Amino acid sequence: MKKNYVSNSQESVRMFKNDFLESLSKVHFLVPVFIFVPVILFCIYKALFEVSIDLLTFFELFVLGVFVWTFVEYIMHRFVFHFAPPGKPWAQRMHFIFHGVHHDYPSDAKRLVLPPSVSIPLATIFYLLFKAILPVNYIFGFFPGFILGYLFYDLSHYAIHHFNFKGSVWKKIKQHHMLHHYQDPDKGYGVSSPLWDKIFRSDFIKK
């Protein structure tokens, strides 16, 4: 297997000549919390106090939202972020912008969570998609769970790269992601959970 370039530097590599575009590619890891926690709270309020979804239905929708996020996380990481067909410079460039830079500079603290320039449009698209699919008003129970799943993914991804864990569960999660970075980038696409890697047989053989 060809050895990929990996830098141990914690500094950010420049991606764009344009200063504004460059600024959009970097973000502090807490920014998603400030943006999306109010969205979660608004949806919960809307579900329970305005459209009056009963507690059991709300809980079921919320858990379903978290579960669906884990699947979306896997699919996007595997088929979107790692889409880089050889011989197509435009695809290689897009891959580097969206995800390749993270594999080349995995310790870059400013590029470990999705910047708002990406996360807000994606969240809007998923909101409209799920709103069209779900029964009327069920989106307000489902979407906060989905977004909570996303926040857990973003923050756990940052923690995996910058914190040392003592708990066995977190150690296994970190090991799974580190194998993706340093052993085989074509396996281990689940970041917050290895569930879908096991289902779709893209998991590592861990000793």
What's the average model confidence in pLDDT over 17-33?
Answer: 84
- For the chain, the structural domain boundaries read 31-103+110-164
CB atoms within 10 A of CB 69: 22
89 or 6, which is more confident? 89
| Burial readout 76-91 (b: 16 or more C-beta within 10 A, e: otherwise) | ebbeebbeeeeeeeee
**Tokens 């979107």 found at:** 80
Tell me if 70 sits within 8 A of 192, measured CB to CB: yes
Structure confidence by residue, pLDDT tens digits, 39-98? 999 999 999 999 989 999 999 999 999 999 999 999 999 888 887 777 777 767 777 777
Q: What does the alpha-carbon distance between residue 31 and residue 99 come to, in Å, rounded to a whole number?
A: 19
Tell me if 181 sits within 8 A of 81, measured CB to CB: no
**Tokens 């990481």 found at:** 77
Dihedral angle of Cα 142, 38, 112, 100, to the nearest 10 degrees: 60
Structure confidence by residue, pLDDT tens digits, 148-190? 999 999 999 888 888 787 878 888 888 888 888 888 888 999 9
**Tokens 């864990």 found at:** 165
| Spatial CA neighbour of 31 closest among 118, 114, 96 | 114
Tell me if 189 sits within 8 A of 78, measured CB to CB: yes
pLDDT-derived band at 1 (thresholds 50, 70, 90) equals very low
pLDDT computed for residue 8 by the predictor: 65
pLDDT-derived band at 6 (thresholds 50, 70, 90) equals low
Q: What does the alpha-carbon distance between residue 181 and residue 74 come to, in Å, rounded to a whole number?
A: 15
